[in-house]
Structure 1
């Protein structure tokens, strides 16, 4: 009974956003962790993300029934009704946003709201079905949790928050396209115009390579501007060089090998962002000069 409601929240996505929220928090905390604030930030963010995922399940019922990996979801099987799912999403969202507003701060609430609106409104309801630029739109929601984590501590949007937002948004692109390559038939059958389906796998590999490079540059900005130390720089660049290496291997993969390559590329992207996010717990530093935007 409870299991179907848990899976409506997409636990894999919840875990990923949990980890990136930690990353943003650790950058701002600089080794001095307020565990109550951390707990409230993680709980509030997780509940907001869970709410968005439940709404996404409601919106994507018609798509999910055409995709092998999603055709057993509760909304497709009608084991949970739409009204019940929407009430469930509303409760999760109200509690999550309430925690961020009353016990964290307005910045965390604002970026949670931005992420929610982009995920549910601009991505799920609109661009996912209509344009190859859906991944760019979705990346904004995906990059919001680490900014929530950062602003929860910093209580401001500064250069570090901007670099975190850019870096995590850029990471979303090759990460998401890798899924679309190894689940190519699913996306094609559902009529989703994601880049590999709407254009070609070769173009996706080229753009993925470019985004890996852009991600590397953006995340190095945290070291360059003094928000992270040299240990972070070594870990980041070692991981990015290997991710770049895997991206290059994609051009040598045949059509039959693309699925295996894409899975490897995707799995390493998960390892990379997890390691980087967690390493901020011991690599973050205070910059000599901090640029605050608002």
Structure 2
């Protein structure tokens, strides 16, 4: 039974957000880690994300029963009831938000709220079912955890936070579209108007390439503005060049699903390596630009 509740929180998404929260935190620390603050930030963020994922499962029951990879979820199989799932989400959310508010800071709490509201309200309840722009909306919630990690340390929204937000949001686009190409039939059967289904796989490959370029430029800006060193630049660009290469060979792929799986898996590896690399490549900018 505990396993069913764990899977209700979508462990894969939790891990991804755990890693990106680490990345944002490490950018801000410049190698000097307050482990208690790190633990509280990771715990609070993970619980908030888990709460949002449980609510998403409740909202997506009708979609999940049409998709092969989600047909066995607990809510679809009725092994967990909707009221129980919502109560579970409430407990997770209250604890997560409480940790961020009382033991981290108001900035971390604010961006957790933004990520939750966008994911549950604007993405799950609205755009996922109605527009090809759903992925852009979802990227806002996906880019919130690294900003939570960053602002937990610095207690302000500055150029570093902005670049992190934009960079991780740009990364979300090709990453998410790769899943949609790989699971094309599932998304088509569920009538989800994501880009490869609503338009074409070819157009998706073009737009994915553009977003990888935007991601590369934005993340390089962290070095330009003094938030990372040369080691970071080498790691980042080596990974991004290979991601761009995968995008190019995708136009000649004989099997789009196999290519998309490879493209997706590399996107996960790339963001994990970059996020962890900040633990030894981040630097203190001379004159940080503070917005609020």
The TM-score with structure 1 as length reference comes to: 0.99
Match of 2:280 in 1: 282
Aligned match for 2:271, one of 270, 273, 284: 273
Question: Which deviations, in whole Å up to 9, do the C-alpha atoms of 1:159-193 show, x marking residues without a partner?
Answer: 00000000000000000000000100000000000
* Residues in 2 aligned to 1:167 and 1:249: alpha-carbon distance in whole angstroms: 23
* Residues in 1 aligned to 2:31 and 2:215: alpha-carbon distance in whole angstroms: 24
* Residues in 2 aligned to 1:182 and 1:109: alpha-carbon distance in whole angstroms: 35
Match of 2:104 in 1: 104
In structure 1, runs of 5+ residues without a counterpart are none
Whether 2:258 is the aligned partner of 1:260: answer: yes
Moved over 3 A (4+): none
CA displacement at 1:279 relative to structure 2:
0.2
Whether 2:67 is the aligned partner of 1:67: answer: yes
In structure 2, runs of 5+ residues without a counterpart are none
Whether 2:199 is the aligned partner of 1:215: answer: no
* Residues in 2 aligned to 1:139 and 1:250: alpha-carbon distance in whole angstroms: 23
Match of 1:168 in 2: 168
Match of 1:58 in 2: 58
**1:129-278 alignment, distance < 5 Å:** 129-254=129-254, 257-278=255-276
Match of 1:118 in 2: 118
* Residues in 1 aligned to 2:6 and 2:267: alpha-carbon distance in whole angstroms: 25
* Residues in 1 aligned to 2:88 and 2:253: alpha-carbon distance in whole angstroms: 44
CA displacement at 1:37 relative to structure 2:
0.2
Whether 2:7 is the aligned partner of 1:7: answer: yes
CA displacement at 1:80 relative to structure 2:
0.4
The TM-score with structure 2 as length reference comes to: 1.00
